[in-house]
Amino acid sequence: MLNPKKFLKAASLSAMLATTLVSGSASAEETIKVGILHSLSGTMAISETTLKDAMLMLIEDQNAKGGLLGKKLEPVVVDPASDWPLFAEKAKELLAVHKVDAVFGNWTSVSRKSVLPVFEELNGILFYPVQYEGEESQRNVFYTGAAPNQQAIPAVDYLLENEEVERWVLAGTDYVYPRTTNKILAAYLKAKGVADEDIMINYTPFGHSDWQTIVSDIKAFGSAGKKTAVVSTINGDANVPFYKELGNQGISAEDIPVVAFSVGEEELAGLDTEPLVGHLAAWNYFQSVETEANYEFIAKWKDFTKDINRVTNDPMEAHYIGFNMWVKAVEKAGSTEVDSVIDALVGVSVPNLSGGYSTMMPNHHITKPVLIGEIQADGQFEIVDQTDGLVAGDAWSDYLPDSAKLISDWRAPLSCGNYNVETKSCGGDS
Amino acid sequence: MYSKLLQLVASALLVVVALSFQSAHAEPAPQQLVNALATGKLKQKPAQIEALAATKNPAIIPVLQALIEGELFYLKNDGQVVIAPQSGPMIDAATGKPLSGLNKSSLKKIKANNKVRRIARAAIAKLTLQSPVLAERQAAVEALFKAAKPESLSLLLEAQKNETDPQLQTRLAQAIALISLQDKAATAKAQQAAIAQLRSLGGQQALALLQAFTARDDIAPQEKEAATRAVEAIEKSMALWGIGQNVWYGLSLGSVLLLAAIGLAITFGVMGIINMAHGEMVMLGAYTTFVVQEVIRSSFPGVFEYSLAIALPLAFLVAGSVGFAMERGIIRFLYGRPLETLLATWGVSLVLQQAVRSIFGPTNKQVGNPEWMSGAYELGGLMLTANRLWILAFALLVFALLLVVLRRTRFGLQMRAVTQNRRMAASMGIRTPWVDAFTFALGSGIAGIAGVALSQIANVSPNLGQTYIIDSFMVVVFGGVGNLWGTLVGAMTLGVANKFLEPYAGAVLAKILTLVFIILFIQKRPRGLFAQKGRAVEA
Amino acid sequence: MITAKLLSRFGLSASALIVALLAIAILFPLANLALPPENPLHVPSHLLPLLGKYLCYAMLALALDLVWGYCGILSLGHGAFFALGGYAMGMYLMRQIGPRGVYADPILPDFMVFLNWQELPWFWYGFDQFWFACLMVLLVPGALAFVFGWFAFRSRVTGVYLSIITQALTYALLLAFFRNDMGFGGNNGLTDFKEILGFSLQADSTRAALFAASAIMLALTFALCRAITLSKLGKVMQALTNAENRVRFIGYRVEHVKLFAFTLSAMIAGIAGALYVPQVGIINPGEFAPANSIEVVIWTAVGGRGTLLGPIFGALLVNGGKSYFTAAFPEVWLFALGALFIAVTLFLPKGIVGLVTQLQERFAARKAAAKRQKQTAPPAKPALNPEAAE
């Protein structure tokens, strides 16, 4: 009793969908596929498109060197469109349909959280290149960005030692990364003897554009006779109006320095940096790092994008490190088989762009130097401080009571991302 | 404001110092101490500067100035310290003699951080406090005012005796007051003078010092009494100014909302088109500004100060013609189906966003602020930033112009006729299709020039339009569709309400409360603040 | 016999859809679970949740069509009801994780431990019970819609004013849910779900069941909406779209009719959200974004407003297209999507279903003309007069 026309339509629609989604898997097997999962549209495109291009460059470069295990690498680019459920869908597509051997992607924490179950279920490999709040260690994910102890704490140390800062404004966008970082920092500062009334914490929504009130509050807070600094975990888009307001209200870096964890060369490219000279940022890499490897990388990047004004930034370096680690691990394992690559990755050491070697730790975080830079008039950073050695990423912060007792070690026999040293058990089921 | 002033003064200083060098009667700077700057880490710089400053030799001023400006280098081979300005010849820092035959690649920069710069500035200030040049003295006093350290007290007192400029006299007295209030050794008389001085100075810094002073237990009761009263007086005046400041913030937020919404008041308010591509018209205006500035930067750097004025008509034309094309190509087929315009214009907005993303890339573009739009003015306890002031003035100007166009011109008359009764207007001989097209182009063009203004305070990125579209609709609907005055009052009301809520509720809750307020308000007045009356309402 | 009953009650195409949905609900999971992967008819595991997601979107579009197509209420905030339903389900799934979270706290979800919450906020009570969560899936969106609608319809807020305040509603909720202080996980939302009713969410069989549930729920809600629109109430609703004042003057309590439709529609949206969350594995405030609600309007319009069938096809088509284009043409897919919306509004004012009916009518008319050997004008379809924005 079906209406044949209607039924045909429904059937053909789903058939069309099925074929389009499946067709990807039919292509040749001689290549090694690398998935790139970065938003190319929507709010995050601003930051993530660059990383897609960086990955394409790295893959092209590797192919020019003869590929991997005698095969060519083939990038598979998809657009999750800054839509978090779509990230999970696209991750599934990359792993199940395109059968990629590794995925490089994600920027926001929520997008990472969204794809985690997918990588766990389909047993994929994800390289996550952005600084984040920590409190996570997953078998299938390799965190090449900074954990809080690789960025926030050294930055605060610098301000304590060099600027003798006594009052602190912790300003951030209201999401999990600033919340956690500020929590860790507040605990750290109190341990250093800073009083409660000398810490001001402020949260703003995403894309906040009217900073008049907050900047004037900061100014009032900072003119109480004690040296004051702002620790900013303000997210991407909101930074431009924030810095513009700082400049306009006449807050110079010599009065109240702002140290930011989410502002890099790419963000500064959209700003007139003249009024911002002297404000700080803490990263593991700056474009201004003076090493041969970095000069070469920058030249390649400008060449690849055919734009001499393009800048490099920290998450790009993280992808550079992550990609080379993966290549090395595949060579070590002799295949792209996921489990053996995951095992091979721990302990792999590759050169980073700041003149040292970064190593993949058993907790799937890497070792990195921490650099403090001051903003220059040309939109670059001048490195004013650098940690003496490399800092290993700590997945579970020692300054949060519930996570202090957790450790992560993915090597046998522990093989656990959140081992509780008190109860001697692997918490959860991850 | 300070930084601007400082910059100005610094450059004046540099010229003066350079001149004094040419006359070469000054004693050369101590070579060994100058060259020491090339050695050691950043942490050793303060001590090196102190050592230089201890010589009290004015010849070190240009060296420190160069360090602050990031123009101090040393030769990689022998560590000789040189000043290498961005333009002009290199100079041997110690002797002040010009150097030739040096390549920038043989130099390495001597790094400075905020602390080093601050110390260098204070060192310069101490040397220039009695300089014959007024601007130098001003800069020196400001630097010492900021630092307010007891060790500079004697220097300041010395300077006060010789100072002739009345304004600078006051500033000196204030700086002295700031210091002597912290000074445990100060006499009761000095304390009283300081309290009186700070009371008239007002502001957060004075307040904090006075509060700390009242908490001390080594002071006489009458000083304590005076200080307490001063604290109360300052707090009271700050609270009053705070209200004024909030009103200003509110008006300035309102002016941004007004600018964003005013084009929509035409396309949506007057024409009834749910124009979801409105935000993208604003974006086009902002990108036009970017392109204009790029062209100016590369070809006519001299006219950068006028870049916004040049961008305005172009932005109007660009956005206006896109609007015109949109009306002719799409919207004219949709009259009488207003809700469907939402769909088509949403499609247009996606296409425009992606087009801009493909052409200019997804990253933020830098739109510079001309000199006259940077800095701030202080008006009593009010801080008025220049860009906000201009934007407010500009928003009101655009509003007034639009009002004149609608009320006083033939086109405005035809426009109103067409929107009120299309058929009647047509039978009176008005070419309604063209009026429609130009009305839409006008609304879009206005959105474009709003983009020029908004490029000064916001991100110029493909997402620019999305950030303003919802607020714009709220403003127009709150004010009453079809009424320009409603848009003005609506924007200002929402701006001020938001800013008064923000200190109590925080930025997010303030915004949520404003939205809830709009929802409730519409229940009370279902057609907005300034409801349209008459038969047109039911049309 | 059932089909005959269906036919007589709902008409041909609607019955066909219901039967097709029920068939899909059985066949697709079977094709996934029973057939080996080599079989050409095998439905891959990753496709099932994807199609399930589309079905949830279709249900949301259906809900919107009930109020927009039949009552003339253009809601630009239907995503809010969808998301609320989703959050209610998400809270249940969150409580199901129990001590398997990374911090192994038996009661508190990970994000609360993470932010040093000491105890469970009161509004999380009860969500460890599935029945309670299901109740909330209906009640929370329903109550919000009821309160909101009660005020709005009583004050006779209509047209764009109504549309814009629904947008304000969802925008305010978006901002509120972004706040970490709200206790819903802030921007990260709720994620890392393990199981539903004791079945692992990663198991193929659970997914198949969820897919089947979505298809069946869609069929049921469609039948419900169809029944309502065919009833006397439905006639009044349709009259509302054309001339609200006249209906009021005749003596109907317009606001009651609207309120009923709006509340019911919100509940359907809530169900859609609740089925959506376990299949995509995350719910976060992004679902409240006004742009999402506008997209729902677009699916409805693409499929054909005021047809109930159309929105379902529209949602499937647009989302299928989006999935395909974001992978096939990641750089330019927005052009295609934008062009589609423009084209549909310009050339298919009644959507795809409208086009099909138009073609059918033309075809029928031509046949009739040929048969009777005389010229007849194609029967004019009663135009749905869209709500004027003044």
Per-residue pLDDT reduced to its tens digit, C5-21: 777 778 888 888 889 99
- With a cut of 70, say whether residue A100 has pLDDT above it: yes
Residue C335 near chain A (CB below 8 Å): no
Specify whether the CB–CB gap between B17 and B61 falls below 8 A.
Answer: yes
Per-residue pLDDT reduced to its tens digit, A318-345: 999 999 999 999 999 999 999 999 999 9
Least confident piece of the model among A155-164, A379-388, C78-87, C94-103? C94-103
Measured in whole angstroms, how far is the alpha carbon of residue A415 from the centre of its chain?
24
Q: Please give the pLDDT value at position C373.
A: 66
Per-residue pLDDT reduced to its tens digit, A212-255: 899 999 998 988 778 899 999 998 778 888 988 888 888 888 88
Cα separation, C375 vs C369, whole angstroms: 6
- Mean pLDDT, chain C, integer: 88
Percent of chain A with pLDDT over 70: 93
Q: Is A308 exposed, middle or buried (0-12, 13-18, 19+ CB in 10 A)?
A: exposed
Per-residue pLDDT reduced to its tens digit, B400-429: 999 999 899 999 999 888 888 888 889 999
- With a cut of 60, say whether residue B536 has pLDDT above it: no
Domain boundaries, chain B: 2-147, 151-219, 241-538
Section B328-352 average pLDDT: 87
Across the strands, what pairs with A351? A357
The residue of A9, A12, A13, A21 whose CB has the most chain C CBs within 10 angstroms, and thus the best one to mutate to test that interface, is: A21
Section B138-161 average pLDDT: 81
| AA identity, residue A300 | K
Instruction: Decide if C35 is inside a domain.
Output: yes
Phi, psi torsion values for A73, nearest 5 degrees: -90, 140
- Mean pLDDT, chain B, integer: 85
- Helices and strands per DSSP (H, E), number in chain B: 20, 7
Specify whether the CB–CB gap between C67 and C333 falls below 8 A.
Answer: no
Name all domains of chain A by residue range, CATH numbers in brackets.
152-260 (3.40.50.2300)
The residue of A17, A135, A400 whose CB has the most chain C CBs within 10 angstroms, and thus the best one to mutate to test that interface, is: A17
- The boundaries of the domain holding residue C360 are 2-372
- With a cut of 70, say whether residue C289 has pLDDT above it: yes
- Mean pLDDT, chain A, integer: 88
Cβ distance of A78 and C193 shorter than 8 Å: no
Q: Please give the pLDDT value at position A6.
A: 47
Cα separation, A358 vs A352, whole angstroms: 6
Cβ distance of B353 and C346 shorter than 8 Å: no
Section C307-327 average pLDDT: 90
Phi, psi torsion values for C46, nearest 5 degrees: -75, -20
Q: Please give the pLDDT value at position B7.
A: 57
Cβ distance of B338 and C386 shorter than 8 Å: yes
Residue A417 near chain C (CB below 8 Å): yes
Q: Please give the pLDDT value at position B4.
A: 53
B residues 310-339 lying closer than 8 A (beta carbon) to A? none
Which residue in chain B has the smallest CA separation from A221?
A: B204
Q: A280: which 2 tokens?
A: 């700080």
Which residue in chain A has the smallest CA separation from B249?
A: A212
User: A287: Cβ–Cβ under 8 A, 6 or more apart, which residues?
Assistant: A265, A294, A298, A311, A312, A313, A380, A381
CATH topology of domain B241-538: ABC transporter involved in vitamin B12 uptake, BtuC (1.10.3470)
Instruction: Tell me the C-alpha to C-alpha distance, in Å, between residue B260 and each of B240, B280, B452.
Output: 31, 11, 11
pLDDT category at B173 given cuts 50, 70, 90 is confident
- 3-class secondary structure for chain C? CHHHHHHHHHCHHHHHHHHHHHHHHHHHHHHHHCCCCCCCCCCCCCHHHHHHHHHHHHHHHHHHHHHHHHHCCCCCCHHHHHHHHHHHHHHHHHHHHHHHCCCCCCCCCHHHHHCCCCCCCHHHCCCCCHHHHHHHHHHHHHHHHHHHHHHHHHCCCCHHHHHHHHHHHHHHHHHHHHCHHHCCCHHHCEECCCEECCEECCCHHHHHHHHHHHHHHHHHHHHHHHHHHHCHHHHHHHHHHHCHHHHHHHCCCHHHHHHHHHHHHHHHHHHHHHHHHHHHCEECHHHHCHHHHHHHHHHHHHHCCCCCHHHHHHHHHHHHHHHHHHHHCCCCHHHHHHHHHHHHHHHCCCHHHHHHHHHHHHHHHHHHHHHHCCCCCCCCCCCCCCCCCC
Cα separation, B113 vs B45, whole angstroms: 10
Which residue in chain C has the smallest CA separation from A80?
A: C326
The 3-state DSSP class for residue B91 equals strand
Using a CB-CB distance cutoff of 8 angstroms, which residues of chain A are in contact with residue C100? Answer: 428-429
User: B270: Cβ–Cβ under 8 A, 6 or more apart, which residues?
Assistant: B415, B416, B419, B439, B443, B482
Per-residue pLDDT reduced to its tens digit, C367-386: 888 877 655 544 444 444 44
Instruction: Tell me the C-alpha to C-alpha distance, in Å, between residue B322 and each of A192, B260, B277.
Output: 59, 17, 11
What's the ipTM? 0.87
Specify whether the CB–CB gap between A385 and A371 falls below 8 A.
Answer: yes
Q: B445: which 2 tokens?
A: 């063009």
Least confident piece of the model among A15-29, A216-230, B354-368? A15-29
Q: Please give the pLDDT value at position B1.
A: 47
Percent of chain A with pLDDT over 90: 58
Least confident piece of the model among C273-277, C328-332, C337-341? C328-332
B411 φψ region: left (φ > 0), alpha (ψ -120 to 50), beta (else) = alpha
Q: Please give the pLDDT value at position A185.
A: 92
Instruction: Tell me the C-alpha to C-alpha distance, in Å, between residue C187 and each of B150, C127, C261, C283.
Output: 49, 21, 32, 10
Q: Is B464 exposed, middle or buried (0-12, 13-18, 19+ CB in 10 A)?
A: buried
Instruction: Decide if C385 is inside a domain.
Output: no
Section B12-17 average pLDDT: 50
Specify whether the CB–CB gap between B282 and B454 falls below 8 A.
Answer: yes
Half-sphere exposure of B35 (CA within 13 A, CB side): 13
Cβ distance of A214 and B364 shorter than 8 Å: no
Cβ distance of B458 and A220 shorter than 8 Å: no
Section B176-191 average pLDDT: 82
Closest CA to C213 of C82, C59, C46, C37: C59
The residue of C8, C56, C113, C114 whose CB has the most chain A CBs within 10 angstroms, and thus the best one to mutate to test that interface, is: C114
Section C47-55 average pLDDT: 92
The residue of A179, A180, A202, A233 whose CB has the most chain C CBs within 10 angstroms, and thus the best one to mutate to test that interface, is: A179
Instruction: Tell me the C-alpha to C-alpha distance, in Å, between residue C25 and each of B7, C48, C210, C218.
Output: 73, 11, 10, 10
Q: Please give the pLDDT value at position C130.
A: 94
Q: Is B372 exposed, middle or buried (0-12, 13-18, 19+ CB in 10 A)?
A: exposed
Cβ distance of B519 and C172 shorter than 8 Å: yes
Using a CB-CB distance cutoff of 8 angstroms, which residues of chain B are in contact with residue C161? Answer: 477, 481, 522, 526-528
Cα separation, B384 vs A228, whole angstroms: 23
Cα separation, B147 vs B421, whole angstroms: 69
Assess whether the previous peptide bond of A413 is cis (omega < 30° from 0): yes
C residues 271-290 lying closer than 8 A (beta carbon) to A? 280-282, 284, 286
Q: Please give the pLDDT value at position A98.
A: 92
Using a CB-CB distance cutoff of 8 angstroms, which residues of chain B are in contact with residue A254? Answer: 114, 117-118, 121
Q: Please give the pLDDT value at position C34.
A: 87
Sign of CA pseudo-dihedral B184, B186, B187, B191: negative
| Total tally of structural domains belonging to chain C | 1
Specify whether the CB–CB gap between B248 and B442 falls below 8 A.
Answer: no
Instruction: Decide if C390 is inside a domain.
Output: no
B391: distance to nearest CA of chain A, Å? 13
Contacts 24+ apart (CB under 8 A), B183-187: B183/B150, B183/B153, B184/B218
Q: Please give the pLDDT value at position A249.
A: 86
- Report the neighbours of B using a cutoff of 3 or more CB pairs below 8 angstroms: A, C
Q: Please give the pLDDT value at position C153.
A: 92
Cβ distance of B524 and C342 shorter than 8 Å: no
C326: distance to nearest CA of chain A, Å? 5
Phi, psi torsion values for B131, nearest 5 degrees: -65, 150
Least confident piece of the model among A183-187, A374-378, C110-114? C110-114
- With a cut of 70, say whether residue B484 has pLDDT above it: yes
